[in-house]
Amino acid sequence: MRQQRDVDWDELSLLARELGEPGRGPGSIDREQWRGIETALAILRDKQDWEGIVRLRGLFSSLIIGETASGEPLVRELSKAAIQAAKQLGRKEEEAQFRHDRAHNLHRFGYHQEAIEEFERASELYKGAGQGFKSVESYYMTALCHRALGDRGKARKVLAEVMDNIGDDAWRRNPMIVLAWLAQDDGEFEKAERLLRQAARLTEQEEGEVSILLAQTLADLGEIVSLLKRHEEAVSLFERSLKILHNFEGQYDRQEARTKLKLAEALSSDGQAERALELLDEADDKVRQYGHYYDLLWRIEMARAVTYLRQRRLGSAVKKIRAALDLRHELGLPDAALATQVVGRLRSGSYLSWSS
């Protein structure tokens, strides 16, 4: 009879503290460290120790909810195992949280349809557990996914329902940001600017000057200000966003890449093509090491293509468009949706921007 192994929780706790340190990315975690988590998960699954799997997920939650290692196969497997465990234990609220976190990662990576399904299930579970506000939060996130898939009408419908549900709560700054993106999509730049400035004020009041959401909002605002041809002000907003991100010691490389992408697009539009390409290389380096942020990577490739077109480097532009299309195909995104975006942005004058 095979003797069952035991999980060394003390060793795992030490490892969790080490891996949770700021700035730790997948490349800094060696194979033996990953193997410790992998072995523990295998033991707990073999025993059908659902409580243990939930405990293991709790120890390494920073890997799941963060932006550094959440795309690693083992971390994704732990996330799915925890959902199964919570379901087996009949803990609806925990299952909802685990599904919500998994959906966040799917959305970040670009798997928007799968993310919608997980967010909707999380919303249902939260509602069943009596967590009305959390249910609304999960449902709200589907609006971002619908927009990413090109269904702006559905995104607006979700946001209208969300705003009706939350009233004057300061959390409304989140749907306001997405409404600003939708206004930008329609070429309504002044409306987008108003919404983003209001969202930034609310965020600063609630979270202070060192906030990830504020950094993101300032980058979005910089993009809009650039589209309104106020380039110096735009650069200042981007620089403030990057300064905030530097406080987090590399924990939000994806956000830093996103801001650099937007800044590069603005500089490209202002005729600073070489500096724009340098920033796009930096943005690429920030996310390429994680290997799974296809949604951001295709946008970087499109920004390169636009910049090459401005330099009349047609061969290079075509190669980058093909690279962007390949990445979109990896995500199951249709070419027709991209063509619709191109036409819409050309009509609105915002053809340079792919990074919301």
Question: Do residues 156 and 182 lie in contact, with contact meaning Cβ atoms separated by under 8 Å?
Answer: yes
pLDDT at 351 over 50: no
Question: Do residues 280 and 96 lie in contact, with contact meaning Cβ atoms separated by under 8 Å?
Answer: no
C-alpha dist (Å) from residue 3 to 10, 40, 47, 74, 239? 21, 15, 11, 25, 58
C-alpha dist (Å) from residue 135 to 82, 91, 121, 138, 150? 20, 15, 9, 5, 24
Question: Do residues 199 and 205 lie in contact, with contact meaning Cβ atoms separated by under 8 Å?
Answer: no
C-alpha dist (Å) from residue 254 to 132, 210, 333? 30, 17, 21
Q: Is-above-0.75 flag for pTM?
A: yes
337: confidence class by pLDDT, cuts 50, 70, 90: low
What mean pLDDT is reported for the chain? 88
Q: What is the structure's pLDDT at 291?
A: 65
Determine the average pLDDT of the residues in 190-214. Answer: 96
Tokens of 114: 């799968």
pLDDT at 339 over 90: no
pLDDT at 187 over 70: yes
Segment holding 32, helix H or strand E: helix 31-47
pLDDT one-digit tens code per residue, 244-292: 999 887 778 889 999 999 999 999 989 999 999 999 999 999 888 776 7
Q: What is the structure's pLDDT at 331?
A: 81
